[in-house]
Amino acid sequence: MPSRVRLDRTRTTPRTPLAAAASRSDRGKSRAAESPATVTRVDTRDGRASTALLTDQYELTMLAAALADGSAHRRCTFEVFARRLPNGRRYGVVAGTGRLLDALRRFTFGESELAVIAPFLDPSTVDWLREFRFTGDIDGYREGELYFPGSPILSVRGSFAECVVLETLILSVLNHDSAIAAAAARMVSAAAGRRMIEMGSRRTHELAAPACSRAAYLAGFDATSNLAAVREFGIPGAGTSAHAFTLLHSGADGEHEAEAFRSQVRALGVGTTLLVDTFDITRGVATAVEVAGAELGGVRIDSGDLGVLARQVRDQLDALGATRTRIVVSGDLDEYAIAALRAEPVDVYGVGTSLVIGSGAPTAGMVYKLVEVDGIPVAKRSSHKESRGGTKKAVRLARDTGTIVEEIVYPAAGPAPDAGVFEARELLIPLVRAGAVIDDAPSLASGRDLVAHGLVSLPWEGLKLSAGEPAIPTTFAS
Amino acid sequence: MPSRVRLDRTRTTPRTPLAAAASRSDRGKSRAAESPATVTRVDTRDGRASTALLTDQYELTMLAAALADGSAHRRCTFEVFARRLPNGRRYGVVAGTGRLLDALRRFTFGESELAVIAPFLDPSTVDWLREFRFTGDIDGYREGELYFPGSPILSVRGSFAECVVLETLILSVLNHDSAIAAAAARMVSAAAGRRMIEMGSRRTHELAAPACSRAAYLAGFDATSNLAAVREFGIPGAGTSAHAFTLLHSGADGEHEAEAFRSQVRALGVGTTLLVDTFDITRGVATAVEVAGAELGGVRIDSGDLGVLARQVRDQLDALGATRTRIVVSGDLDEYAIAALRAEPVDVYGVGTSLVIGSGAPTAGMVYKLVEVDGIPVAKRSSHKESRGGTKKAVRLARDTGTIVEEIVYPAAGPAPDAGVFEARELLIPLVRAGAVIDDAPSLASGRDLVAHGLVSLPWEGLKLSAGEPAIPTTFAS
């Protein structure tokens, strides 16, 4: 993969051990210099929060039992996969890998974390966790890769002890980000090249919001309203104006929309986007052009029948000579509403709620399953929730046109399957070796390219928004 | 309200200014001592992250325009309310207030935050933000209070400038936590007193997970699997075991479930809960009692027809003399599945996915609207999204039995409405005065009591799980 500009600041440090901690003595020293309030939340050497408690309690009690009986040191493979795609989706999008590798670096237990777990764990387990650094290997699908039911998206290998404690963190990051990215990709493909702004922060947890911006950008959105995402991930920021700003300039003596528009243009220039639907849209558009001139950057419509209004506003703008003024629409847009506006003169979609709730599928349903112990495949078998034992690899087959036709999951110990007349591409790449993140793990920018490429590679049926079968079948070779 | 033990550690500091920062000179000094890596994320005096960038860009560009034209200093009221309840729900639950007050304390712009916004703001706006401290007043419904369409859940008063910048943070926290709490309350009421454990961390953003645990606990859940929630909010932790632990003890030479159980009991005592559905449930239960004896704390069933299995396992346990061994069920439980198990011998419900995705309504749909400027009511009027102008208060009317009958929202400037034969309770209480959090703002523990009390106060129809009208009507008095 060619070298690209790295937008993802979570991936700027080359080949850092997961826990960027120095020796124990160094740790002790820096801790002593910290105030008690700081110790509560800041436990890694770079001043960022430890991720070690983003964990379910049972992982640590299983660890305690396994350390006590000696089984903790057995060599294991855990795999992440989704049994199915939600709501009859045709494809999934792997997202969160960059964030996950960053979070794994911070998965270390400082005194503050140990104080929480000491009450229910024996001292030797607490000591083990104090020393904990992941030293195993992780392979995974590239961030931005499409996936299908059964795709072995992540393969984590190491001792049982060091793999079992990562379950919740790995699943939280991948399930969240992949759910958002899958919804975003459907919206991007429905928008057919028009500009997309993510503006859903207010409809999700405040700290999930930047991750939503990131997943949307990965899937092809152009910008975000969220400033934390601008800082953390280098995503372009964007914004318009709210009804409150127009209302602020009105009052008992009437509706002074022009005053609000004049103020905004004075502060932000004529390239700004004016919100025209506070009182009356036709009057709002006329006032906007009157104030800003025909060079006005854009107008936003946030309510009403967006298709009808977009046409009407386009005609009005054109008649006023504002032929290059963009029309931004927002307000409960999802992929279906976006597709329904395809024939209308819309320039920019602002998408909020439906994006951050995964458009009906807020979580990707991935699981983290133990598939191999000391070289022996293992699998539970009590119910429909069966899983396939053994460490796996996967290839995706494509025609020479680039259209994909099948995914084959096969035992990692065996030979790669015969691709026949198709081209086969290996899907798992090394992400972590002996606890260190691989130097050239893909960046957010390259992941964005990969999603765009992936959508083009789907068979025609794969881009349908309606519910149905996955775009390609997954075959399990043995 | 009587004094109670405060479990919510976000509310332990009495009457602290929202931003616990000292004078400018102090700030400069401590900043200079920090390493660059620390500055990136840690910008408040207590070492915890600034929340100032959890904000949409347009709030700051509106601020810039309003500062330039002088309107930024007009006295405003912004109100938070939900136009409707999602999916035909009968009631909402206010949640997140404690987290919000904590986040507001940390809403300050350090140099790291200012570096992100300086590229698109004029220097005087940047200077204004450098000095920013919220100095206004906030009233709100108590955390744990039920709400209905139009309930003025939060009332924020101050200059336009200081109120407008808080929009996204306020909505993110309240929309997320209230959505989870509403789903949790429905589950708690369906469980009719049986023990509930929240275990959904792996199905939501890693940092949203502790907030989900907190909202679930507020609504009546008994414990959480999430260790960060144990630390941050003092919620009781809980956990059982995963299939991986049983599989770890098996391999090529057979299924050694007994070995796994023995190890767990040795490490955690006979009071532990053993997962019995890895291979065959009947055999698993027999093995569990064989290993742990009749004093075994619990068995967990995570798959299959939980009703049928619970009955069968209860009979088997009783026949083995393990009459006090609890049955824990988990696996895609939502309020409907919980209700369907009401007649079955289930002791504990473990709830994951459906809880953290709000059981089909992952966001509460609250909005933050400017309703008054310099004493004059304002409202947009272009569409169905109309809002009612003017600062409001609200009372809830109840019969002398305690059953609620109506909510009346009325102008804050006017007299309280006539309650007739009913008892009226004012719903808005002071939370912040002149930028300082009120000393006795309700705690998480008192909020939990309030939810329990609220559910009992609903008319009979209000506890129905099916879609329908809100449990009580909201009347807008003028």
Architecture label for domain A240-346: Alpha-Beta Barrel (3.20)
Chain B, 203 to 232: residues with Cβ < 8 Å from chain A are 203-211, 225-228, 230-231
Cα(B114)–Cα(B265) distance, integer angstroms: 54
Contact (CB, 8 A) for A160 and B248: yes
Q: What pLDDT band is residue B122 in, cutting at 50, 70 and 90?
A: very high
For residue B286, pLDDT over 80 is answered with yes
DSSP state of B211: H
**Count of CB atoms situated within 10 Å of the CB of A52:** 28
Domain with CATH 3.20.140.10 in chain B: 9-32+44-180+361-476
DSSP H or E segment with residue B421: none
Average pLDDT for B214-230: 98
Report the relative pairing of strands B137-141 and B154-159 from DSSP bridges. antiparallel
Q: Is A171 in Cβ contact with B62 (below 8 Å)?
A: no
For residue B23, pLDDT over 70 is answered with no
Average pLDDT for B371-393: 83
Q: Which fold has domain A9-180+361-476?
A: nicotinate phosphoribosyltransferase (3.20.140)
Span of A9-23, A62-76, B48-62 with lowest mean pLDDT: A9-23
Chain A residues with CB under 8 Å of B250 CB are: 373, 378
Q: Is B383 in Cβ contact with A277 (below 8 Å)?
A: yes
Q: What pLDDT band is residue B29 in, cutting at 50, 70 and 90?
A: very low
Cα(A227)–Cα(B57) distance, integer angstroms: 6
Q: Is B267 in Cβ contact with A120 (below 8 Å)?
A: no
- B395 pairs with which residues across the strands? B408, B426
For residue A47, pLDDT over 60 is answered with no
For residue B44, pLDDT over 60 is answered with no
Contact (CB, 8 A) for A78 and A193: no
In this complex, which of A41, A248, A268 lies closest to B48 when CB atoms are compared? Answer: A41
Q: Is A169 in Cβ contact with B206 (below 8 Å)?
A: yes
For residue A439, pLDDT over 50 is answered with yes
Residue A382 has what pLDDT? 61
Q: What is the pLDDT of residues A408-435, one digit of tens each?
A: 999 999 999 999 999 999 999 999 999 9
Average pLDDT for B153-167: 98
> Looking at CA atoms only, how far is residue B354 from chain A in angstroms?
10
- Residue count of chain A, please give it: 478
DSSP H or E segment with residue A430: strand A428-433
> Looking at CA atoms only, how far is residue A455 from chain B in angstroms?
25
**Interface size, chain A vs chain B, as Cβ–Cβ contacts under 8 Å:** 381
For residue A292, pLDDT over 50 is answered with yes
Cα(B416)–Cα(B339) distance, integer angstroms: 40
For residue A28, pLDDT over 60 is answered with no
Residue % of chain B over a pLDDT of 90: 84
Q: What is the ipTM of this complex?
A: 0.91
Q: Is B60 in Cβ contact with A206 (below 8 Å)?
A: no
Residue B9 has what pLDDT? 35
Question: Is B234 part of the contact surface with chain A (CB cutoff 8 Å)?
Answer: no
> Looking at CA atoms only, how far is residue B271 from chain A in angstroms?
13
> Looking at CA atoms only, how far is residue A402 from chain B in angstroms?
34
Task: Please report where in the chains the tokens 């506890």 appear, as a residue.
Answer: B463
Average pLDDT for A42-70: 86
Architecture label for domain B9-32+44-180+361-476: Alpha-Beta Barrel (3.20)
Q: What is the pLDDT of residues A135-182, one digit of tens each?
A: 999 999 999 999 999 999 999 999 999 999 999 999 999 999 999 999
Average pLDDT, chain B: 89
Residue B47 has what pLDDT? 58
Cα(A225)–Cα(A353) distance, integer angstroms: 13
Chain A residues with CB under 8 Å of B202 CB are: 56, 167-168, 171-172, 175, 368
Q: What is the pLDDT of residues B61-98, one digit of tens each?
A: 999 999 999 999 999 999 999 999 999 999 999 999 99
DSSP H or E segment with residue B181: helix B167-191
Residue A252 has what pLDDT? 64
Residue A114 has what pLDDT? 97
In this complex, which of B42, B239, B246 lies closest to A56 when CB atoms are compared? Answer: B239
Domain with CATH 3.20.20.70 in chain B: 240-346
Q: Is B66 in Cβ contact with A228 (below 8 Å)?
A: no
Residue B379 has what pLDDT? 87
Q: What pLDDT band is residue B291 in, cutting at 50, 70 and 90?
A: very high
Closest to A170 (Cα-Cα) out of A377, A18, A323: A18
Chain A residues with CB under 8 Å of B112 CB are: 231
Q: Is A268 in Cβ contact with B64 (below 8 Å)?
A: yes
Chain A, 239 to 268: residues with Cβ < 8 Å from chain B are 239-252, 259, 262-264, 266-268
Question: Is B60 part of the contact surface with chain A (CB cutoff 8 Å)?
Answer: yes
Average pLDDT for B114-141: 97
Compute the C-alpha angle B111/A207/B207, nearest 5°.
Answer: 125
Average pLDDT for A175-190: 98
Q: How is residue B370 written in tokens?
A: 């400017």
Domain with CATH 3.20.140.10 in chain A: 9-180+361-476
Residue A258 has what pLDDT? 95
DSSP A226-268: BHHHHHHH-PPB-----HHHHHHT-BTTB--HHHHHHHHHHHH
**SS3 label, residue B275:** strand
For residue B382, pLDDT over 70 is answered with no
Q: Please return the burial class of B248, using the count of CB atoms within 10 Å of its CB with bins 0-12, 13-18 and 19+.
A: buried
Amino acid, single-letter form, for residue B205: H
> Looking at CA atoms only, how far is residue A339 from chain B in angstroms?
23
Cα(B82)–Cα(B179) distance, integer angstroms: 11
> Phi/psi at B399 (nearest 5 deg)?
-70, 170
Span of A6-10, A86-90, A463-467, B470-474 with lowest mean pLDDT: A6-10
Best of B39, B117, B207 to substitute, by most chain A Cβ atoms within 10 angstroms, is: B207
DSSP H or E segment with residue A22: none
R_g over Cα of chain A: 25
Average pLDDT, chain A: 89
For residue B312, pLDDT over 60 is answered with yes
Q: What pLDDT band is residue A202 in, cutting at 50, 70 and 90?
A: very high
Q: What is the pLDDT of residues A220-239, one digit of tens each?
A: 999 999 999 999 999 999 99
Best of A164, A372, A382 to substitute, by most chain B Cβ atoms within 10 angstroms, is: A382
Residue A299 has what pLDDT? 98
Report which listed range, A10-19, A36-45, A137-146, A457-466, is most confident.
A137-146
Residue A442 has what pLDDT? 75
Q: What pLDDT band is residue A383 in, cutting at 50, 70 and 90?
A: low
Q: What pTM was estimated for this model as a whole?
A: 0.91
Average pLDDT for B123-131: 97
Task: Please report where in the chains the tokens 């129809």 appear, as a residue.
Answer: B461
For residue A327, pLDDT over 90 is answered with yes
Nearest CA in chain A to B120: A268
Q: How is residue A316 written in tokens?
A: 């009005």
Chain B, 170 to 199: residues with Cβ < 8 Å from chain A are 171-173, 175-176, 199
In A170-313, beta strands by DSSP E: 195-198, 223-224, 273-275, 298-301
Chain A residues with CB under 8 Å of B156 CB are: none
Task: Please report where in the chains the tokens 């393990």 appear, as a residue.
Answer: B322
Q: What pLDDT band is residue B19 in, cutting at 50, 70 and 90?
A: very low
Contact (CB, 8 A) for A438 and A57: no
Chain A, 131 to 160: residues with Cβ < 8 Å from chain B are 160
Span of A407-411, B31-35, B80-84, B378-382 with lowest mean pLDDT: B31-35
Q: What is the pLDDT of residues A333-354, one digit of tens each?
A: 999 999 999 999 999 999 999 9
**SS3 label, residue B261:** helix
> Looking at CA atoms only, how far is residue A48 from chain B in angstroms?
7
